Amino acid sequence: MVTSMQGLIDILNHEDSEGRQNMFVQAILESIAVDNDNRIMRDLLFDVVHRNILLYRELEENLKEIKRLSVTDQLTGIFNRRRFIEVLKYEFSRIGRYGIGFSIIMFDIDHFKNVNDTYGHDIGDFVLKKLSELVQSRLRESDTFARWGGEEFMILMPQSTLETALKLSEAIRQLISNFDFSPVTQVTSSFGVINYSDESKIDFEDIISYVDQALYKAKQTGRNRVVAFEKNDSDIESN
């Protein structure tokens, strides 16, 4: 029998919560002698406990939804900047313990302002959403895909090499370039890529700056291409 509020919480948190909740209700009901004098109290208590369990479930679902919305980009449905930074910090902590490398891909849509100016913001939103769907379809379940802001996107690839990240970037670049985004004539994108390992000696605060510099170099050298970060790129002034 449950004898404390903590006992109730433990039951509600159990994997088989519905069945255990029924056990909790039954335990309380059995604590009241079944006779004609307290049958009304028994029924009232059952109703009160049952309603509180339903309220608890509703609160739990609402909290899950609030959490989901807090890490989701409302337009595209992919993760947002906040969630990407959370995952990046986690990967940094993992590499310190296990020495597992990861890669970051940063890309944006070339001349996206022209899309909005020429076709309107509704079409611009359509391009962002469709592009997000295309990219998501090419990623592993372990990868994190996020909208960094505006027309900029980020991909974090755990346990990956620079070669793997470059191949994926090129595949996505071609996928976007060849896709029909009608009424937009053509959509292209530029990519910066960086790989981080235990020997990289890059601070957490610098890695985003470095991959941004690689993206800047891709745009400066003609756009619609993939560029990997190199050490001498750190001298480039980012846009």
Residue 56 burial by Cβ neighbours in a 10 Å radius (0-12, 13-18, 19+): middle
The sheet with strand 226-228 has its strands ordered as 144-149, 152-158, 102-109, 189-196, 226-228
- Give the C-alpha separation, 179 to 186, whole Å: 8
**In a 3-state reduction of DSSP, which class is residue 12?**
helix
By the 10 Å C-beta count (0-12 exposed, 13-18 middle, 19+ buried), 91 is classed as: buried
CB 145 within 8 A of CB 154: yes
Which are the catalytic amino acids? 151
